[in-house]
Chains A and B, each alone.
Chain A
Amino acid sequence: MTARNPLTELDRPNSYIGRAVPRPNLTRLLRGRGQYVSDMTLPRMGHVVFVRSPYAHARILGIDTAEAEAMPGVIAVVTGKRLAEVCTPWVGVLSHLKGLKSAPQHAIAVDRACWQGEAVCAVVAETRALAEDAAERVFVNYEELEPVTDMVAALQPDATVIHPELGDNLAFERNLDAGEVDKAFAEADAVAEAEFVFGRHTGVTLEPRSIIGDWNPGEERLTVHQGTQAPHMMQNIIAKHLDLEEAQVRVICHDVGGSFGIKVHVYADEMATVALSKLLRRPVKFVADRIESFTTDIHARDHRCKGRIAVKADGTITAFAIDDMTAIGPYSMYPRTSAIEANQVVNLVGGPYTNMNYRARARVVFQNKNVTCQYRAVGHPIACSVTEGLVDLAARAIGMDPAEIRRKNLIPDDAYPTASASGLKFEALSHHASLDKLLKMMNYDALRAEQAELRKKGIHRGIGIASFIEVTNPSAAFYGVGGARISSQDGVAVRLDATGRIIVQTSITEQGQGSEAITAQVTAHALGVPMERVRVILGDTDNTPYGGGTWASRAAGIGGEAAWQAGKALKANILAVAASILQADAATLDVVNAIVVDKATGTERMPLEEVGRIAYFRPDTLPPGFQAELMTVRHFVPREYPFAFTNGIQASWLEVDTDTGFVTLLKHWCLEDCGTIINPQLVDEQIRGGVVQGIGPALYEHCRYDERGQLTNASMADYLVPMAAEMPDIEIGHVVSPTKESELGAKGAGEAGTAGAAAAVANAVNDALSPFDVTITEIPLTPEVILKALGKV
């Protein structure tokens, strides 16, 4: 820390909240000593490979497994019908998403495959290679059925209905009408409209999905090693569908090679893997290969959203209207459902602005492509791109600067608490402070001048701005109220051991974002001990309190507060023990640097190891009737607000080559308000990583299907992601508006970058192309898309 005068909170000993300390778990990862599920080998472990449907839609007439069973090293060949005897199907619906419907999905397809890549048979062998050899000798007799691939055609009366028992291909529809929309459009000085098209893309976690099921018939217990974000949710689901008690299932989450929402869902092939372990009474491991990742990891987005905006000549936005359609594959995912993204789009469009006239329709459609579900920033990139794209169109229609129209319409910083047109409750946001800071950070006026100069030389640079709000710290409103057994609260247990060290068990999980670090920071800060003394245990349903895990930007805000409260409670208990030994008033004592001191003078009284020694080995010396409690547990869930909204604003500065259609990113800024910042470096890196995951689908990432439902670019060579050479440096700034729901005041930061990046980039491209009078509202913005819009191809 740089020296300051007067001393700040951070200059006190053991002050870790707000400090950019390195993560304690990095050394093992840096030395190649991490343990990912894909690294693990258990005795007698079999490897499963799935035979997958080559068709998007096909009836399974018969499966001949005889040759495969005779292949070297084969342990078992199991069809969907056989596996259904040990694993029941599921239906991905939630009761609060009224009308949402889906069909029963089996771990392995039983008589029909509904997307290219759906598993139709499992081969378990001694090695992955032998299982792959044998899988080639499984002969499946298919009758190809008409695939439903186009989302608009899927709703036509003559469309093939994928699940006839459901009546049609419409999984879910939501309508919202707030204020006086028709009146606002009728009285507008200008109306702008566009159809925004969002390609399908996916998470591409560098470690593919990995799971080991280990059924021990002697213990009648199933241990599951899984790269997952939600161990307790998985425990519940696995028990439910394998006819076990939850107590018979233990889920352990080791190091995870990237998640981003991909690893928070229940995958059919992973359920099949644990079911096979139970069936075969031995450990069975599944690691997706890269083609399987592309064809079966959940995809996201794939929206077509028509949007309209009404604006007055003075820049006042008077209405938003959207009609969104999204295609989700043949099943709604389990248990979080595939309707959440569209629902979020309805909730979030127009969210940063004061306008209260808003109409929305969202339709969620079945099709014969891979399933889609919640991926980092669920719905936010859609809502933000539609909103911010429309705001720029409105600004252009009335000849106003994009920054100015936002200043005119963003909710004032002194208006809180308030609510959006869609009914979202906002506790405290900072749109205007964020906008001001962003414009200063990027030197907006100078950049505009530079842009104008370069334009004279035929160099087309653009500035794109995107305000956003982000859902974080979700309460039970997300899933619990809909009947899903997904915990919205988290728990933390903190213990002083006999050598004065601290052991923390938390129900949040670590996938690299820094859960372990911030838990250690908060606990050490609460207790008054050096962070090096704290060891954090997470990701094990046998050894942590019950809780939700890590998703929807919740770990720091919810798990962090539980750690803070548990740490404070343990400190009080430690002081009670020390006071009884020292015959002092606990209120006069404190803990500093792991030593009990006199609060007033700082005089050292006894180190924590002495407190531990006496409490554990010489409790006979403590006063009669006094029981030392050197382990405390606290749980936390926000109660007043369903979600702690955060806000921010991003800007992109880029150059478009109008001859080649290539976009060169020059700089990106993100100003963000996540409340109290526990670790500035970790927050900034979450945002940078999130921005790049938002830039990817804006420019490169796209799961390209053909009209028969075949994924045509299911390899890393064909599906492009951002690489080091194409990415710009990203400047981050903060405004801090802590939530009053917790003492810590932290909100989430993991998805903010992803929420607004694509909108900023798309607006910048359109800004760069403004001399050509074209507006592109489709992503990814490939050279082909740009050249087409320019009429050059």
Chain B
Amino acid sequence: MTATVSITLTVNGETVRAEVPPRMHLADFLRERLALTGTHIGCEHGVCGACTVRLDGEIVRGCLVLAVQANGMSVETVEGASDSGELQDLQDAFRERNALQCGYCTPGMLLTAQELLAKGGVPDRETIREHMSGNYCRCTGYQAIVDAVETTARNRAAARG
């Protein structure tokens, strides 16, 4: 087996030092080493979006980034983005609209939607659907998710005045 590599990174604001095999991907690292199991694994080939996390502020597929590539970088997961409160209104909208059933795709959906919402404005439904089209959901049929994102965009726009 290949020797492990030392990495230092920030995860949800905390500094983490670890020895990892070079082949370990970021989603496995978060789940297995840090027990941050909110980052889900659906396909491990970058298609389903369940493992979406933020790396230095950009959303990435946790299964397509190696843990060693995150060395020196900042990772945010759904747990961190929940604790900071930045997703609260979006989570409330998901809850009210039942925009999740089994919940397995939800962390990835939230972080992906938040990226769109961060651009500001009120995107139309087609734009929302297009933006979310890299994330699988097998339960909802997507309409409730689109509704929840749209509602949040409207609420945020109204709050901005």
* Bound: A207/B23 CA distance, A: 22
Interface residues as binary, A727-759 with B (CB distance below 8 Å gives 1, 0 otherwise): 101100000000000000000000001000000
* Bound: A511/B100 CA distance, A: 11
A721 within 8 A of B: yes
Which label, helix, strand, loop or mixed, suits the secondary structure of the B interface?
loop
A725 within 8 A of B: yes
Closest to A256 in B: B102
A681 within 8 A of B: yes
Q: Is B47 a contact of A30 with CB atoms below 8 Å?
A: no
Which label, helix, strand, loop or mixed, suits the secondary structure of the A interface?
loop
* Bound: A340/B130 CA distance, A: 39
| Interface of chain A residues 327 through 365 with chain B (CB within 8 A) | none
CB-CB < 8 A to B103: which residues of A? 26, 29-30, 34, 255, 257, 512
Q: Is A30 a contact of B104 with CB atoms below 8 Å?
A: no
Known: A31-B38, A729-B143. Is A26-B95 also a contact (CB below 8 A)?
yes
Closest to B149 in A: A724
Q: Is A717 a contact of B45 with CB atoms below 8 Å?
A: yes
Q: Determine how close the nearest CB of chain B comes to the CB of A234; give it in whole angstroms.
A: 19
Q: Is A205 a contact of B138 with CB atoms below 8 Å?
A: yes
When the two chains form the complex, which single residue of A204, A260, A685 contacts B140, counting CB atoms closer than 8 Å? A685
Q: Determine how close the nearest CB of chain B comes to the CB of A509; give it in whole angstroms.
A: 12
Q: Determine how close the nearest CB of chain B comes to the CB of A27; give it in whole angstroms.
A: 7
A692 within 8 A of B: yes
* Bound: A735/B55 CA distance, A: 49
CB-CB < 8 A to A27: which residues of B? 91, 95
A258 within 8 A of B: yes
* Bound: A23/B97 CA distance, A: 10
A715 within 8 A of B: yes
Closest to A36 in B: B104
* Bound: A747/B139 CA distance, A: 20
Q: Is A685 a contact of B101 with CB atoms below 8 Å?
A: yes
| Interface of chain B residues 102 through 138 with chain A (CB within 8 A) | 102-107, 110, 125, 128-130, 132-138
B60 within 8 A of A: no
A367 within 8 A of B: no
* Bound: A23/B140 CA distance, A: 14
A716 within 8 A of B: yes
Known: A206-B104, A289-B44, A512-B103. Is A258-B139 also a contact (CB below 8 A)?
yes
Q: Is B45 a contact of A258 with CB atoms below 8 Å?
A: no
When the two chains form the complex, which single residue of A23, A290, A693, A729 contacts B138, counting CB atoms closer than 8 Å? A693
When the two chains form the complex, which single residue of B91, B125, B138, B144 contacts A31, counting CB atoms closer than 8 Å? B91
Q: Determine how close the nearest CB of chain B comes to the CB of A650; give it in whole angstroms.
A: 13
When the two chains form the complex, which single residue of A23, A715, A721, A724 contacts B98, counting CB atoms closer than 8 Å? A23
B17 within 8 A of A: no
When the two chains form the complex, which single residue of B45, B82, B136 contacts A30, counting CB atoms closer than 8 Å? B82
* Bound: A289/B45 CA distance, A: 10
Closest to B90 in A: A30
Q: Determine how close the nearest CB of chain A comes to the CB of B32; give it in whole angstroms.
A: 8
| Interface of chain A residues 1 through 45 with chain B (CB within 8 A) | 22-23, 26-27, 29-36, 38-39, 41
When the two chains form the complex, which single residue of A206, A689, A727 contacts B40, counting CB atoms closer than 8 Å? A206
When the two chains form the complex, which single residue of A32, A72, A688, A722 contacts B38, counting CB atoms closer than 8 Å? A32
A637 within 8 A of B: no
Closest to A732 in B: B143
| Interface of chain A residues 667 through 686 with chain B (CB within 8 A) | 681-682, 685
CB-CB < 8 A to A716: which residues of B? 42-43, 45, 47-48, 136
Q: Select the residue from A36, A689, A721, A753 with max chain B CB neighbours within 10 A.
A: A689
B146 within 8 A of A: yes
CB-CB < 8 A to A690: which residues of B? 141
CB-CB < 8 A to A326: which residues of B? none
B64 within 8 A of A: no
Q: Determine how close the nearest CB of chain B comes to the CB of A278; give it in whole angstroms.
A: 25
Q: Select the residue from A27, A31, A34, A715 with max chain B CB neighbours within 10 A.
A: A31
A203 within 8 A of B: yes
| Interface of chain B residues 68 through 116 with chain A (CB within 8 A) | 77-79, 82, 87, 91, 94-98, 100-107, 110
Closest to A73 in B: B1
A422 within 8 A of B: no
Q: Determine how close the nearest CB of chain B comes to the CB of A44; give it in whole angstroms.
A: 16
Known: A26-B95, A512-B102, A727-B129. Is A203-B138 also a contact (CB below 8 A)?
yes
Closest to A227 in B: B102
A129 within 8 A of B: yes
* Bound: A457/B41 CA distance, A: 47
Q: Determine how close the nearest CB of chain A comes to the CB of B24; give it in whole angstroms.
A: 8
CB-CB < 8 A to B141: which residues of A? 685, 688-693, 722, 727, 730, 753
A723 within 8 A of B: yes
Closest to A757 in B: B141
A385 within 8 A of B: no
CB-CB < 8 A to B91: which residues of A? 27, 30-31
A226 within 8 A of B: no
When the two chains form the complex, which single residue of B39, B100, B132 contacts A512, counting CB atoms closer than 8 Å? B100
Q: Determine how close the nearest CB of chain A comes to the CB of B101; give it in whole angstroms.
A: 3
* Bound: A678/B78 CA distance, A: 32
B26 within 8 A of A: no
Q: Determine how close the nearest CB of chain B comes to the CB of A256; give it in whole angstroms.
A: 6
* Bound: A724/B137 CA distance, A: 8
* Bound: A205/B139 CA distance, A: 9
Q: Determine how close the nearest CB of chain A comes to the CB of B37; give it in whole angstroms.
A: 4
* Bound: A50/B136 CA distance, A: 26
* Bound: A692/B101 CA distance, A: 14
Q: Select the residue from A30, A38, A722 with max chain B CB neighbours within 10 A.
A: A30
B145 within 8 A of A: yes
CB-CB < 8 A to B94: which residues of A? 26, 30
Closest to A687 in B: B141
* Bound: A688/B146 CA distance, A: 13
Known: A206-B40, A693-B138. Is A30-B102 also a contact (CB below 8 A)?
no
When the two chains form the complex, which single residue of A31, A129, A682, A715 contacts B23, counting CB atoms closer than 8 Å? A129
CB-CB < 8 A to B50: which residues of A? 206
Known: A129-B21, A723-B133, A730-B141. Is A206-B31 also a contact (CB below 8 A)?
no
* Bound: A690/B143 CA distance, A: 12
Q: Is B138 a contact of A721 with CB atoms below 8 Å?
A: yes
* Bound: A448/B94 CA distance, A: 36
Interface residues as binary, A178-220 with B (CB distance below 8 Å gives 1, 0 otherwise): 0000000000000000000000000111111000000000000
| Interface of chain A residues 235 through 278 with chain B (CB within 8 A) | 255-260
CB-CB < 8 A to A513: which residues of B? 101
CB-CB < 8 A to B136: which residues of A? 204, 206, 716, 721, 723
Known: A255-B102, A512-B101. Is A39-B31 also a contact (CB below 8 A)?
yes
CB-CB < 8 A to A259: which residues of B? 102
* Bound: A30/B93 CA distance, A: 11
| Interface of chain A residues 498 through 518 with chain B (CB within 8 A) | 511-514
B36 within 8 A of A: yes
CB-CB < 8 A to A289: which residues of B? 44
Q: Is A30 a contact of B100 with CB atoms below 8 Å?
A: yes
When the two chains form the complex, which single residue of A129, A257, A715, A717 contacts B102, counting CB atoms closer than 8 Å? A257
Q: Is B138 a contact of A206 with CB atoms below 8 Å?
A: yes
CB-CB < 8 A to B24: which residues of A? 129
Q: A41-B35, A206-B42, A206-B104 are in contact. List 4 more A-B contacts (CB 8 A).
A: A30-B110, A512-B103, A514-B98, A724-B133
Q: Considering the complex of A and B, which 3 residue pairs feature the smallest CB-CB distances, nearest first?
A: A32-B38, A29-B103, A512-B101
17 contacts between A and B (CB under 8 A): A30-B103, A31-B38, A31-B78, A32-B36, A129-B23, A133-B1, A206-B137, A259-B102, A290-B45, A688-B144, A689-B138, A715-B43, A723-B133, A723-B136, A724-B129, A724-B146, A727-B141
